[in-house]
Structure 1
Amino acid sequence: MMMNVMVVMVVMMMMMVVMMMMMVVMVMVMMMMMMMMMVMMLLMAMMMLKLMIMMKLMRMRMRMVTIMMVTMTMMMLMTCLSPLAVYGSECAEMRKRQIQVYQEAAASVVQARHRMGETPTNASNACCFCWCCCCSCSCLTVRGEEETIQRSVCERRTEITINCEESPRPTLEEARSWSTSFEKVMKSAAGCSCFRQFLRTEFSEENMMFWMACEELKKETNKTVVEEKVRQIYEDFISILSPKEVSLDSHVRDVINRNMLEPTSHTFEEAQQQIYTLMQRDSYPRYINSAEYADLLKTLEEPPPEP
């Protein structure tokens, strides 16, 4: 009996040990599962953090891209609008200078009349230099003389145009020499005529007209006529309001505006040189390679008709 009791007790103790070992194994398994869950949570936290950082970087990049796009748009707008603003300010400035030049020219005409001993009765109001056709203007006495001078200038200008258009027919040797240098074209009356006709087809005839007007101005010695010619050339070719305005840079325009305070026969010398260079570099090569020049040479090469 005692042996049976002891066997039962030993079996029960072994079962308890086995159960305790199983419980220990279960606790260990649960701890491992908890560790795995903690690792997974840590990985998820790291992934979330990485995702947040990426989103933040993307937002920052988007903001930077947006700022750059806005900045570039503003710069483009400023670049597009700045020439208009500069042009508007330049127009206003040029208009002020033109008015000042006109007034100075009028005053110089009055001074010239004083020196000639022909003081007008209303000279005190002559400096207004009216450009309208108002009959009540107080400068009519000055205008009379100015209109006479202006008429003579226009007549001389017309004579220049007629002489150039009706220049003698060039010889074949003379026409061929034009291709060697631009200077030979400008020194030839027939060359000026043919080259001017070519410029007319390119809508740049005003360059030749301005150059010829400056050449005629250099030949003038009468101070009053010089002042009137200078004013007329300024109105015809320099003023931004003229349809025949020539292309000059701002430096040359400033020089002209300074020279207009005391007009001389060399007032437009620098502008004339710039236009001469422009025609030489731009229009002259096209003229030499043009069909007009080739047709002229072909016509001159043909024998004259027998009488």
Structure 2
Amino acid sequence: MPRETEISVNERAFIQQALQENLRLDGRAFDAFRPLELTFGDEYGVADVQLGKTRVIARISVDVAVPPPERKFDGIFQIIAEFSPMASPAFEVGRPSDAEMVLSRILEKAIRRSNALDTESLCIIAGLKCFALRADVHIIDHDGGLVDASCIAVMAALQHFRRPDVVVEGEKATILSVREREPIPLSILHQPLCVSFSYFEDGEIFLIDANLSEEQVRNAEIIVTMNKHGEVCQIAKYGGATVDPLALLNCTNVALQKVKEMSKIIQGKLEADAKKRDAGGLMAELSAENER
């Protein structure tokens, strides 16, 4: 199986020496993210995130399905991560790598299990029909920070997506097309975002948003998932090095500030996209006409 190109001994020593002198190779501060770029596709539910050289595209799709018998009042929501071989030589189609399994597990806990999406709002007829929502995460370029970029992409795509409206008559449900009725935004309860901390020198040095070279040198990693209200959704640790409890508490404080900044960026991009789609205020005019 192909493997990621390992960093050389000289590069490893150079990065470690630079960190001891409070320097990062790209000149960032230890608590700084790489430049974040977020764009939306022409259709609803497509978010393209670039975090430095890392690029992730998330796409939301919807279908009608039968709800599981144990949750007949809920809809279905699943997240599928796909690693493209063009993103890294370590990724191979049909053979999930450790990074792919970790990413899928983190996104599952961060978004689905934290109830970021109100799945009850996806129910059409209890026990018979519901909306089945699927988030496909495509890794296009890999230069570290996959978890953070993927979480931003999925949450932005969910908030951008519009599901079709439906008319229910008894046990008959009619899905309306876009021309018949304006699609409906999803019910998002909160917006969890991930902030990854890489630590070096046995926990003496912590970095936010490590690139691929720094990830290959680090001792271990901590992923903190929070929303802008300060609610911790999950804390995951990968690697054998121990972490001081006070250092972990400090990580959550730093993560909260970063989550607030990212939430503001996502909201601003969503509002700009809505204005672009509503050129001339046509949708506002139609909504006012319907209310009359």
Task: State the TM-score bracket (shorter-chain normalisation).
Answer: under 0.3
Q: Which has the larger radius of gyration?
A: 1
The structure richer in helix per residue is 1
The structure richer in strand per residue is 2
TM-score (norm 2): 0.24
TM-score (norm 1): 0.23
Structure of greater relative contact order (alpha carbons < 8 Å, 6+ residues apart):
2
